[in-house]
Amino acid sequence: MFKPHVTVACIVHAEGKFLVVEETINGKALWNQPAGHLEADETLVQAAKRELWEETGIAAEPQHFLRLHQWIAPDNTPFLRFLFAIELNEMCPTEPHDSDIDRCLWVSAEEILTAANLRSPLVTESIRSWQRGQKYPLALIGEFNWPFTEGVKSGGAC
């Protein structure tokens, strides 16, 4: 049976900039969107919100679903990556709670599209998805008869 890894990622945009997280992998500082794996007791939207808070310290709700990427990483690991959009009124200060994240940066789309230090090609593909402007309601991926009632940490943006 085929069992891909299920991950979520957030494109966070404010004041013409995008939020990236920087982490050191094999001695190299790499950029990614706030992203991570889906846990067993959460919905996709809850996972996106949790990963955003853990990696950036920002408590915000995904507003739109952008894209589902089916991808096979260079090590042949299969992924299904659910991409969400969050539009903030201002660039919030960040405070990563995940020890794997070195820092967060607000950068332009062009800086991401031309960066040589991206964690995967999905980082640029996610920016391209945002730029195409196709945003879908979160209900497109809604849960059905979901048994869990506890969400992730709540709070407003910034």
Condensed to tens digits (0 to 9), the pLDDT of residues 120-129 reads 999 999 999 9
Residues whose CB is less than 8 angstroms from the CB of residue 99 and which lie 6 or more positions away in sequence, other chains included: none
> What would the mean pLDDT of 66-86 be, rounded to a whole number?
95
**In this predicted structure, what is the pLDDT of residue 153?**
43
Query: Does any domain span residue 153?
Result: no
Residue 28: domain span: 5-140
Query: Does any domain span residue 148?
Result: no
Q: Is the pLDDT of residue 7 over 60?
A: yes
Q: How far apart are CA 112 and CA 123, in angstroms?
A: 8
Query: Does any domain span residue 149?
Result: no
Under DSSP, the state recorded for 38 is P
Residue 80 is encoded by which pair of tokens? 């299904």
Q: Is the pLDDT of residue 148 over 90?
A: no
Q: Is the pLDDT of residue 106 over 70?
A: yes
Contact 99, 26 (CB under 8 A): no
Residue 37 is encoded by which pair of tokens? 């794996």
Q: Quick one: which of 22, 21, 50, 56 has its CA closest to 37?
A: 50
Q: Is the pLDDT of residue 158 over 90?
A: no
Q: Is the pLDDT of residue 132 over 90?
A: yes
Q: How far apart are CA 71 and CA 79, in angstroms?
A: 5
Domain count of the chain? 1
**In this predicted structure, what is the pLDDT of residue 129?**
95
Query: Does any domain span residue 14?
Result: yes
> What would the mean pLDDT of 93-114 be, rounded to a whole number?
97
Query: Does any domain span residue 127?
Result: yes
Residue 149 pLDDT class (50, 70, 90 cuts): low
Q: What is the pTM of this model?
A: 0.90
CATH code for the domain of 56: 3.90.79.10
Query: Does any domain span residue 80?
Result: yes
- Higher-confidence residue of 41 and 37: namely 37
Query: Does any domain span residue 151?
Result: no
If one counts every other C-beta atom within 10 angstroms of the C-beta of residue 92, the result is 19
Query: Does any domain span residue 155?
Result: no
